[in-house]
């Protein structure tokens, strides 16, 4: 495996007035890795995804690099076409479009390809996530919670990312569904896509991540192998009193 970083953040900071939501964060992600990010609510995880994708804003200072090239000054669509795609914490599908049309739209706009190629890319992505053909013509709003996750992942794959940023994809899922999502994430990885995963559901996060970084108040408080990081006293302390995560 190529060990040069695929995606890198260098001293990335994002301010909102006096609040420093992301504070001097640096890390590098190797191609093919699943890179996990944890941290209490409000610790800056989603803001970090925002600044890495330019959606809706870039960093206040610092650099983001893809394969060694700066991308933080690019427009959001240029960043996605360069190969960095994200999903959102809230459902972001077009509810009145069918599942197929959603994935097709992603192929056209994110991968930037013509309609014929986009159709086959969309069909392949829906096969990859195993959304049954009988469900692909349904409006996205008619899909179950898990089917919408399949749709989210298929739309992401169809955008042909090099790196996919997933923001709490397990939200709203039952335990068996979380296992299904874990299999989906492995499928994405099997397509050669590097994954950055923000997740509160620790069995999922620890089950798929090769590297774990923990944020608190916008700063990195631990980063390394998941086994070591969850035992780090700073991490345990950051989570004390937190309802949603038990380490
Ligand atoms: N657009 C914004 N304007 C002002 N403050 C923001 C904005 N986005 C996030 N914040 C603040 O930045 C901090 C980090 O938020 P966020 O990145 O959403 O945390 P997390 O995803 O870890 O829960 C929070 O204090 C939040 O209120
Ligand atoms: Mg968040």
Could you report the per-residue pLDDT of 103-143, keeping only the tens digit for each?
999 898 877 788 889 999 999 999 999 999 999 999 889 99
Percent of the chain whose predicted confidence (pLDDT) is above 70: 94
Query: Chain-wide mean pLDDT for the chain?
Result: 91
Q: Read off the pLDDT of each residue in 20-36 and give the average, rounded to a whole number.
A: 97
Note whether 157 and 191 are within 8 A (CB). yes
Domain limits of the chain? 1-82+181-247, 84-160
Range of lowest pLDDT (85-89, 163-167, 181-185) = 85-89
Nearest CA to ligand 1 atom 4: 16
Look at residue 199 in the predicted model and tell me its pLDDT: 95
3-state secondary structure of 145: helix
CATH topology (fold) of 1-82+181-247: Rossmann fold (3.40.50)
Note whether 177 and 145 are within 8 A (CB). yes
Ligand 1 midpoint to CA 29 (Å): 23
Ligand 2 midpoint to CA 77 (Å): 22
- Look at strands 61-66 and 5-16 and give their pairing: antiparallel
Look at residue 238 in the predicted model and tell me its pLDDT: 86
Look at residue 146 in the predicted model and tell me its pLDDT: 95
Nearest CA to ligand 1 atom 25: 42
Peptide bond into 56 cis (omega under 30): yes
Predicted model pTM:
0.92
Shortest-distance ligand to the CA of residue 37:
1
Confidence of residue 243 (pLDDT cuts 50, 70, 90): very low
Cβ atoms within 10 Å of 204's Cβ, excluding its own = 21
For residue 89, which atom of ligand 1 is closest to its CA? 21
Given a cut of 50, whether residue 244 has pLDDT beyond it is no
Tens of pLDDT, residue by residue over 175-206, are 999 999 999 999 999 999 999 999 999 899 99
Note whether 194 and 162 are within 8 A (CB). yes
């Amino acid at each position: 495996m190529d060990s040069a970083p695929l995606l890198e953040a260098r001293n990335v900071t994002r301010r909102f007035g006096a609040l420093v939501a992301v504070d001097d964060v640096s890390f590098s992600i190797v191609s093919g890795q699943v890179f996990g990010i944890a941290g209490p609510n409000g610790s800056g995880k989603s803001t970090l995804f925002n600044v890495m994708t330019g959606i809706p804003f870039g960093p206040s200072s610092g650099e983001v690099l893809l394969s060694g090239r700066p991308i933080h000054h690019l427009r959001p669509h240029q960043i996605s076409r360069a190969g960095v795609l994200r999903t959102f914490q809230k459902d972001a599908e077009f509810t009145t479009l069918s599942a197929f049309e959603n994935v097709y739209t992603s192929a056209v706009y994110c991968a930037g390809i013509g309609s014929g190629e986009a159709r086959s890319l969309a069909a392949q992505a829906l096969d990859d996530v195993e959304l049954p053909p009988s469900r692909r013509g349904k409006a996205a709003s008619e899909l179950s919670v898990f089917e919408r996750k399949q749709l989210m992942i298929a739309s992401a794959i169809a955008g042909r990312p090099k790196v996919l940023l997933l923001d709490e994809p397990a939200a709203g899922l039952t335990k068996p569904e979380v296992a299904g999502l874990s299999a989906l994430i492995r499928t994405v990885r099997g397509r050669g896509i590097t994954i950055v995963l923000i997740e509160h559901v620790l069995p999922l996060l620890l089950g798929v991540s090769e590297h774990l970084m923990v944020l608190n108040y916008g700063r990195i408080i631990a980063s390394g192998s998941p086994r070591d990081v969850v035992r780090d006293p700073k991490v345990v302390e950051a989570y004390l009193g937190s309802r949603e995560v038990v380490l």
